Amino acid sequence: MRTAAIALITVLGAAPVGAQSEAPANSSSNQSAAVSSSSEKVRDNPAAQYVLVKTVVGQVMGVVDARAKPVEPEGYNLLKYCWTAENVLGDWAERAGLTGAMVVRALETRSWQRDLARAGYPEAPTAEAIGHYEAMLVSAGFTDAARSHAVDALIVELVGIRQKTPGAAQVRAIHRCDSQQRSLALNYTTAPEDGRARFMPYVLHQICQAQQLNPDDQIRCDYWMYGKTGKPMSFAGETVYSVRWLDGSTANGRFDPEQSRSAGTVTLRLRPPKATK
């Protein structure tokens, strides 16, 4: 994956992730950046922020390895995993906006890097080809039309690599994602009752932290959503929560919704204070 990261940074012409630090303190641009929200940072510098997002995705979303599938006899299908904002982020698909689109494409390209290596493709030229794909998306704002063109261009590059690599599998892009998606809906309750809860996918929480923003600040880390009273919410993966009760008590943590699928409800509990000696 290190080769892929270097290739991506080279192709995008982006600064390393650590270079997100702002310009000198006396510049007006720095003053503006100091009050930017997470989504504003992403919109203002999509190339560098995509590198940051992809790094965070690699650190926190083990779903990529969990969903690994073998290469089919007829070849490798680039569209086999059907990543979408809805099945990756649930109810946050729209709210996450461009950041969410970056998360989805980061999952996709990390899967390709892993699977194409298993399909016999050499790491360096494959990483460069995927970097070209990502650069096309970044320059076009991650639109669906741009992705379609970028996939076609990627296949052309991979065909060229395959011609120089005996034994590499054929690559295709066949859309087979029209089957009904499983429900991600879960109810939530608080114990004690009547707590007011807000939620955010853990990956978005970690993106805010990587941007050097306070992830608990719902203005700066602008992906928080309050729970729907009496209605289920779509939780797609590990989720951060914060609950406040009328007496000022609070509870913070995160949960894996998969552990509550059978029950249909996740319970957010106020932890008793630790006993003092």
Query: Domain map of the chain by residue range?
Result: 2-172, 185-269
Name the token pair of 23: 């310009």
CA-CA distance, 136 to 72, in Å (whole number)? 28
How many C-beta atoms lie closer than 10 Å to residue 140's C-beta? 14
CA-CA distance, 188 to 227, in Å (whole number)? 8
Q: What is the pLDDT of residues 33-74, one digit of tens each?
A: 456 999 999 999 999 999 999 999 999 977 666 667 778 888
Name the token pair of 238: 């590990």
Name the E strands within the chain: 76-77, 171-172, 185-191, 196-201, 225-226, 233-234, 239-244, 250-255, 265-269
Predicted model pTM: 0.86
Name the token pair of 219: 């203005």
The C-alpha angle with vertex 86 and arms to 212 and 152, in degrees rounded to 5, equals 90
CA-CA distance, 1 to 14, in Å (whole number)? 17
CA-CA distance, 153 to 240, in Å (whole number)? 38
Q: What is the pLDDT of residues 120-150, one digit of tens each?
A: 999 999 999 999 999 999 999 999 999 999 9
